[in-house]
Structure 1
Amino acid sequence: MLDINKIRADFPILSQKVNGKPLVYFDNGATSQKPQVVIDAISKYYQEINANIHRGVHTLSQLATDAYEISRGKIQNHINAKFSHEVLFTSGTTHGINLVTNGFASLLKAGDEILVSALEHHSNIVPWQMLCEKTGAILRVIPMNENGELIMAEYDKLLSDKTKIVTVNHISNALGTVNPIKYMIDEAHKFGAAVLIDGAQAVPHLKPDVQELDCDFYVFSGHKICGPTGTGILYGKEDWLNKLPPYQGGGEMIKDVTFEKTTYAELPHKFEAGTPNIAGGIVLGTAIDYMNEVGFENIQQQELELLEYGTKRLLEIDGLKIYGTAKEKTSVISFNIEGIHPYDIGTIIDKLGIAVRTGHHCAQPIMNFFNIPGTIRASFAFYNTKEEIDAMVEAVKRAKMMLS
């Protein structure tokens, strides 16, 4: 069991007031808050070992390089990648997806098919549309049902020898649905297709085991797992990363350069052109350490209790509807109140110190499916409490009364 007061004391932002009210932060699906240990580690890097990495023989450069590569090793262990060079540092999930789509541009031809799901964030739709425009490949969509679950019978029908890659989120950012990705990976591999998993919303809640999943690519962002913004990870199987051409050219990703020909560096540096976010990469390892110290079993238990309690409390409000009622879901509740625009609710409860997300959550196809402009999304983290949920419910009731 978590000592919630001790946990909350790790996060300095949680003790402040917003609009004169205690902050209730329920926008964790957009970004998580940062513990003091992460904040301190950022300062420590710049105060003590700030230097460029991989290129210098001087002491600071060696210290920074060692810290950066130690962090890569921490992440390798966390996701159970086979090799550390299968772990690429990126600026976030979007960067990782675009790196893969850029590489597949040289592998696809007209008529090849890419499968995406109806539950995707725009960052896992738009790059594939751009790839289709470039190559003549065809984008196919795995449909969803009214509960916000993907329809596996339809997925099975869509798979064929034309399928070259399947790309699906592990957990929906808009609805909290946990997708059956192991089944989807196994079925796709029967047709020789690669599989990319968008883990941006999953890594705050669970530890993905990429070898057990057998996915070909897994991407996530550091800022959703208590790490800094501008950080992320692309895991790719060694064979696939060797097949893909570099995403960017420049320093670091080369072996030899002449005006006649350039040869590229080995993995992972082949995909890490230029000076990276060194502090961010190092401190992402700090954030991973912190999350593992808290313990993902503890995190899941706390968040499940918050999901169940929040669902029960919100459904006490007349006219409130929850979108996303999958059997398997995480601590996200997307809801609307009949006759009231979600933006109006969000604006009023912000005045009461409640931070939620309103809108389409970069998942417009989901909102189109439900024929709504957007939802109010409360996304809980392990440092949230039932008392905060009570405060949100009272704030929503007050907003409803004002707007009705």
Structure 2
Amino acid sequence: MLTILLYIFIGIIALQIFYYLIVFSKFAFAKPQKITPKRIPVSVIVCAKNEAENVTKFIPLLAEQNYPDYEIVLIDDASSDDTLEIFEAFEKQYTNVRLVKVQNNEAFWGNKKFALTLGIKAAKKEYLLFTDADCYPTSKDWIMNMTSQFTLHKTIILGYGAYEKIKGSFLNKIIRFETVLTAVQYFSWAKMGRPYMGVGRNLAYKREEFFKVNGFMDHMKIRSGDDDLFINQASNSKNTTICYAPESFTISAPKTTYSEWFKQKRRHVSTASFYKGFDKFQLGLFYFSQLFFFLLAIILLAFQFQWMIVCGLIVFRYIFTWITLGYASGRLKEKDVMYWFPVIELILIFTQLNVYFTNSISKPVHWK
């Protein structure tokens, strides 16, 4: 039995080699991205619900972008705080701000996708750039960098949405490491010609892509997924590319307690079950390869079975994963998360397991 487990362990290592050295290397070892300004007209779309404090701070940063032709479409999704009043003030202050007021609708109560649909229809530009109300760009050239990747055929751009660094917070390192790993996955698969998701914190596409798939209609009843489910449905090898220039990043405030972060993860994971078959398969296979790497390593070492071979395989696995993720995290300006890589990886694996079990018992809470 232990011999069989050893062979399975070797197979798990081989599977991880495939992911890290063949798939993830497509992004990790990619050349720095060339930026060629396009100056195409853009609608920046921000949907907010009860985000008065955040929009007060961050909308002015969007209004200060170095870009010749853009509008800001602010969508108030029936907020109960001062968000609408703040948006109305911005509409008077900035000539390129367009306000969309969403009233509660019985059929789409509290559904962000309904609000976004109204905003997209109200937008006057053909190219749409999305971010969240709690996000801000890393530079005044955010729009220019993201739109630089549009071409005649590349009409969907996947960007990187980072989280703020909180000094002395280990939870913050966990959150940012997971964000890096997620980005490495969807960037790499996009470069492989199999795009499967993007993040609403930093995402761009041409308006026609939205209407080609009837917008969010096929998954309107699923509260989450205005970003990843849409990309999973609309993107392909021909129309999708990525933007990873540092000036194209956005940043948002991370959760500061484990319970809040866990709730957020439950929402994010809940949409994955609606992905295309191949995407669910490859994501599941990667997760199980991580989980069984640890379980089999513990079992084989506990019985001291061929311990020198097992230890050698463990060291080899950590070398190639550390190198690949190290290069990738450096590209995303997140190198500090790699110092705690083995510990954080283990925490994430079992947190993910907890999320799956919890979601199978109860539904996560979605849009506010």
Report the TM-score range of the alignment, normalised by the length of the smaller protein: under 0.3
Higher strand fraction (1 or 2): 1
**What TM-score, normalized to structure 1?**
0.26
**What TM-score, normalized to structure 2?**
0.28
